[in-house]
Chain A
Amino acid sequence: MAADPRDEFEATLDRTAEGREREAGAALQRASLRRDAFYRFIKNRGAVFAAVAFVVLLGYVIVAPWVSPADPYAIDFSKAYLSPSWDHPFGTDEFGRDLFVRTALGGRLSIAIGFAGTIAIMIIGILYGAIAGFAGGWIDNGSMRFLDALYGLPYLPFAIIVLAIFGTVSFWAMVVALTVASWFTTARVMRGQIISLKENDYVRAARALGARWHRILFRHLLPNTLGVIIIFVFLELPGVVLGEAFLSFIGLGVNPPKASWGTLAQDGYTSYQAHPYIIIIPSLAIAWLILSAFFVADGLRDALDPRTKET
């Protein structure tokens, strides 16, 4: 077995008393850093409020369709366009369907698209940015120039063309279209993170000890960007949800009777003169999500990196 001596050296280091001690110290430090961040977040009343609002919205979206007696797909024209009341807290639509349940179902779809898109954006962005930043030199240069060119593409037309390539609008078509049109910022930020982390002494130390590139990247660099990644999840999620709503609103959304917040808003738009509440409710749900996610991200940034605290 021709093991790389450097790997072996590193493995023995891990086994030695010194290595164990170092590991323990690292774990201790990591835990306290996280606990620190957690306390800072808890103390930030605005951020906690936003987090609660975010959870409440998720709770409504998940629970409402289970507990509500109304059938979201049953058509009953005798109940069309009922204004909000006890029986129908959000009123009913043109087919007499209960909007309290339909808004929750729409939210499920919108938020699911949001999370799927966000995860895809994170994976692509992190890989692209980390590789560019870590490799440096012409790889970094080339990939950043390519990213610059992508920044020239207009967001919505780009997403619409990708959607058109799929032909029919489906969950995954939507996710792919929105991901392809919006992973650039994450990639750029990740590259910046990796480049600044790369210069740290502990990376130099790891390198001096003979750690190979993948170990440095996955053990030392990426874990340290976790804070930024979490913040970016909360920044990208509302963007994807809003993008979906925009596409749905101009008629490129999922097919009825399924609904997302965007298609519900589009339904509401067709009858806004007589029944404005139908467009207001899904739009406010979107606004709720955007605001709560934004303030959670803001609070997380302050908590994880007190130095960059915005005055």
Chain B
Amino acid sequence: MLKFIVRRVAWTIPVILLVILMTFVMMRQIKGNPFQVTERPVPESIQRNLERAYHLDQPWYVQYAYYIKGVALFDLGPSLVQRNQDVNDIIRQSFPVSLQLGGFAMIFALLFGIPLGILAALKQNSILDYASMAVVNAGYALPNFLVSTLLIYFFALKLRDHTGFPTNGWGGWQSWILPSIALGHAPMTYFARIVRGSMLETLQQDYIRTARAKGLRWRRVVGLHVLRNSLIPTVTAAAPTLGYLIAGSFIVETVFGIPGIGRYFVTSISGRDYSVTMGITVLLAVIIIVANMVVDILYGYLDPRTRDERV
């Protein structure tokens, strides 16, 4: 097991380097000049000094090496547009907000998705199953921006007097509920689907039949054998869920006016603030890579059969 963990952790380093390299190469292809965004032209000598200050006059591999060094020291460099701010500052301000939002959305998804999947599987082909799967399918298909807008429309505008939910912003529990639901509904349906499928598969296993045949009470069979074995595959759902959360946070933060990382990313792209765009992309990539690593290790621990395949 230890060997497996060490190999899996060591493997993330070249992956992170490669991902940074790819982002870096792509960022260099974007046209436009971050120092020429205003109407007033910047004199050439100042332009050259600025380029030197940000190492933009060096060949790309030197720039890449500088950048890797920065990432290793947790310093993502200064913002190219907002002169008095570092990328670190921007991330420090906006990332906790996004992290909170993502965390709440995840809690919502787990809290509703897993029970929904369990119920649907235990009562397969009943009204309950069909109803919950209808909810899941509808939730899966409705785009994030519609769910966000409708939540605001009904709960923050029409029912304002009863709920007291604000239409935008991020501060206080009342402003947390709607965005968390809006962001969490897609992963929720995903969890419900995975849990249902995996439960139905587990229910057909021989050891379940054995447990029932030896006279174990059904409730105990479910609690002891079915749930335990069928919740393991949900661990692998973490990776796509993270993808949902990141993509969804761009929308949800825009609609709810939440000062998170997604909104900064969109403004940084249009403002040609390369270092912010890079910094956020690298941060998100590292999060995804580390999350995948944790999932693999966790899965290798829970289901030892997968250890060899995954490295």
Contact = CB atoms under 8 A, between A and B. Distances in A.
Contacts of B250: 156, 246, 250
Given A246-B251, A279-B149, A311-B124, 6 more contacts: A165-B26, A167-B31, A245-B143, A249-B145, A252-B266, A294-B141
Contacts of B204: 311
A303 B197 CA distance: 19
A310 B27 CA distance: 43
Interface string B194-220: 000100110010000000000000000
A33 interface: no
A290 B284 contact: no
A152 B288 contact: yes
A165 B149 contact: no
Given A152-B288, A279-B145, A157 B30 contact: no
Interface string A232-268: 0000000000100110011110000000000001001
Contacts of A272: 149, 152-153
Contacts, number: 132
Interface stretch (A84-92, A100-108, A127-135, A280-288): A280-288
Interface in A169-189: none
Interface residues of B, number: 52
Query: How extensive is the interface on chain A, given as a class?
Result: 35 or more
A149 B152 CA distance: 38
Interface stretch (B14-22, B41-49, B58-66, B88-96): B14-22
B97 to A, nearest CB: 17
A269 interface: yes
Interface in B272-288: 277, 280-281, 284-285, 288
Given A290-B140, A291-B141, A153 B255 contact: no
B172 to A, nearest CB: 22
Interface in A270-303: 272-273, 276, 279-280, 283-284, 286-288, 290-291, 294
Interface of A: 146, 148-158, 160-162, 164-165, 167, 242, 245-246, 249-252, 265, 268-269, 272-273, 276, 279-280, 283-284, 286-288, 290-291, 294, 310-311
Interface in B1-23: 14-16, 18-19, 22-23
B26 A152 contact: no
Contact of B277 (A161, A242, A246): A161
A265 B265 contact: no
A155 B262 CA distance: 13
A283 B146 contact: yes
17 contacts: A150-B22, A152-B15, A153-B22, A154-B243, A157-B280, A158-B281, A161-B26, A161-B30, A164-B269, A246-B143, A250-B251, A251-B266, A272-B152, A273-B153, A279-B149, A288-B141, A311-B200
B288 A310 contact: no
Given A249-B254, A276-B150, A279-B149, A154 B277 contact: no
B236 interface: no
B111 interface: no
Contacts of B153: 272-273, 276
A155 B247 contact: yes
A217 B44 CA distance: 58
Given A269-B149, A276-B153, A283 B247 contact: no
A146 B19 CA distance: 10
A152 B283 CA distance: 11
Contacts of B137: 291, 294
Contacts of A154: 243, 246-247, 281, 284-285, 288
Contacts of A146: 18
Contacts of A162: 26
A226 B23 CA distance: 34
Interface string B240-268: 00010011001100110000000001100
A146 to B, nearest CB: 8
B292 interface: yes
Given A161-B281, A250-B254, A283 B142 contact: yes
Interface of B: 14-16, 18-19, 22-23, 26-27, 29-32, 124, 137-138, 140-146, 149-150, 152-153, 157, 197, 200-201, 204, 239, 243, 246-247, 250-251, 254-255, 265-266, 269-270, 277, 280-281, 284-285, 288-289, 292
Contacts of B29: 165
B254 A155 contact: no
A149 B281 CA distance: 14
Contacts of B255: 269
B272 to A, nearest CB: 8
Contacts of B14: 149
B251 A148 contact: no
Nearest to B287: A154
Contacts of B140: 290-291, 294
A287 B142 contact: yes
Nearest to B203: A311
A265 B146 contact: yes
Contacts of A287: 138, 141-143, 146
A149 to B, nearest CB: 4
Contact of B201 (A245, A249, A279, A311): A311
A279 to B, nearest CB: 5
A256 B138 CA distance: 30
Given A161-B30, A246-B247, A153 B265 contact: no
A165 B22 CA distance: 13
A146 B14 CA distance: 10
B200 A283 contact: no
A128 B247 CA distance: 26
B23 A156 contact: no
A276 B149 contact: yes
